[in-house]
């Protein structure tokens, strides 16, 4: 299973939506879009509850940054990614 954090482009100040995607090969198992990077863990929790899959099933975590101008959102998501990698791997 792959976990992908996709930071979307945003025109509003302070609000950068982040899409949390759980994939098994090419099939999307779960997808949640949260309003900002601070709510990524809430979206991740909803995906795990809906799909009934635990964190131990995750083999790869990836961040895709489509909004190159918002460094705070990127740093928050990268920190979450690193913490999850420490927990999983």
Domains in the chain and their CATH numbers? 2-88 (3.30.420.40)
Tokens standing for residue 49 = 């509850």
24, with CB counted inside 10 A (0-12, 13-18, 19+), is middle
Hey, how many other C-beta atoms are within 10 angstroms of the C-beta on 73? 24
Strand partners, 61: 3
Tokens standing for residue 71 = 């460094």
Hey, how many other C-beta atoms are within 10 angstroms of the C-beta on 31? 15
Tokens standing for residue 73 = 């959102």
Predicted confidence (pLDDT) per residue in 10-67, tens digit: 766 667 888 999 999 889 999 999 988 888 889 988 998 998 888 888 889 999 888 7
Q: What is the pTM of this model?
A: 0.84
């Amino acid at each position: 299973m792959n976990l992908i954090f996709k930071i979307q482009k945003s025109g509003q100040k302070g609000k950068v939506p982040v899409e949390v995607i759980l994939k098994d090969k090419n099939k999307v198992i779960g997808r949640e879009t949260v309003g900002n990077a601070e709510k990524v863990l809430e979206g991740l929790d909803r995906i795990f509850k809906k799909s009934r899959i635990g964190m131990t099933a995750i083999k790869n975590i990836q961040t895709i940054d489509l909004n190159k101008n918002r460094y705070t959102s990127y740093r928050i998501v990268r920190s979450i990614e690193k913490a999850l990698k420490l927990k999983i791997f």
